[in-house]
Amino acid sequence: MPRVIVSSGHTSKSPGTVANGLKEVDLARKIAKATLPHLRQNGVITLSVPPDMDLFQRLEWINKTGYDENTGDIAIEIHINDGGDSGVEAWYEGEGDTESKRLTETLLQEVTAESGLTNKGSKSEYDHDLGSIAFLHEVHPVASLIECGYIDNEKDAEFLKDDNNIAKLGKGIAKGILKYLNIEYREAQMPANNNQQPQTNQNQSTAKPAAKPRIRPAGNNSTMPPVSAVGNSGGDGNNSIPVPNNAGLGNPMAGLGNPGGMGGFGAGGAG
């Protein structure tokens, strides 16, 4: 069965957009944490990127897992938008009818249906002001980046302050992923405490799609922290899962610069 990685944008030192008493980094983490139980209790092997990694570190960590588009694996990154508008928009890798686009459109449909927020559409990374989005074209799995509301819009900000709405966004993201994977959604039985470990079936398998050529820049290997499953042991949780020994990585983000535009996740962004 394909596996899923959930990432949230920004760090404590680079919190993204701050407005209406909210920080992007805090909201993105909460939504990511709300997503995980729905995936795990529907049998999906799921990892969560540890908190407080900058963009470069997140990309390295994801690629070190060995998860890859050629085995149908998925990587999702969660952000909150800015610019005063309202609703949910999402970005996909490249252009044309790609798996990334199909994943992104499915996510949008389910998130907006679950949350009631306006669907602002799926967009190619090439349509972004920065010209590309590093998270989408540098990670090995099929990738999508979703912007859950506008933090500087008063209506959206009030929506995001309600934990019930955060739960809706997390559930919508999970339902979108499951629909993309052709897995029927089953309502998650939320554990009474964070110490309960949802069961997953490590033996499930699926047919591998044809490999898609991809050119990656070379670089030096680096030692990454252990893979951790956020939300399983209180707080952000750090239940270690060993990274496969054959998961090599070069330097996917040579030349990262300062954060720029719409939360610093684009080409050269490090948030």
Neighbours of 94 (CB within 10 A): 13
Helices 24-40 and 163-180, axial angle in degrees (round to 10): 50
Which class for 194: exposed (0-12), middle (13-18), buried (19 or more C-beta within 10 A)?
A: middle
The two structure tokens encoding residue 230 = 């956020």
Q: How far apart (Å, rounded) are the C-alpha atoms in residues 21 and 155?
A: 13
Residue in the structure block whose two tokens are 């020994």: 245
198 or 109, higher pLDDT:
109
Q: Is the pLDDT of residue 14 over 80?
A: yes
Domain borders along the chain are 4-213+221-264
pLDDT tens digits for 139-167? 999 999 999 999 999 999 999 999 999 99
Give the pLDDT confidence score for residue 23 in this predicted structure: 98
pLDDT tens digits for 175-198? 999 999 999 999 866 555 444 444
Percent of the chain with pLDDT over 70: 69
CA-nearest of 77, 41, 72, 36 to 59 is 77
251 or 71, higher pLDDT:
71
pLDDT tens digits for 66-80? 999 999 999 999 999
Average pLDDT over residues 114-138: 94
Superfamily grouping for domain 4-213+221-264: Zn-dependent exopeptidases (3.40.630.40)
Cα angle 91, 4, 207 (rounded to 5 degrees) comes to 105
Give the pLDDT confidence score for residue 198 in this predicted structure: 43
Q: What predicted TM-score, i.e. pTM, was given to this entire model?
A: 0.73
Q: Give every CB contact of residue 76 below 8 A, 6+ residues apart in sequence.
A: 4, 5, 6, 7, 35, 107, 143, 144, 145, 146, 173, 177
Cα angle 181, 46, 24 (rounded to 5 degrees) comes to 100
Q: How far apart (Å, rounded) are the C-alpha atoms in residues 76 and 46?
A: 11
DSSP conformation class of 147:
E
Average pLDDT over residues 106-125: 97
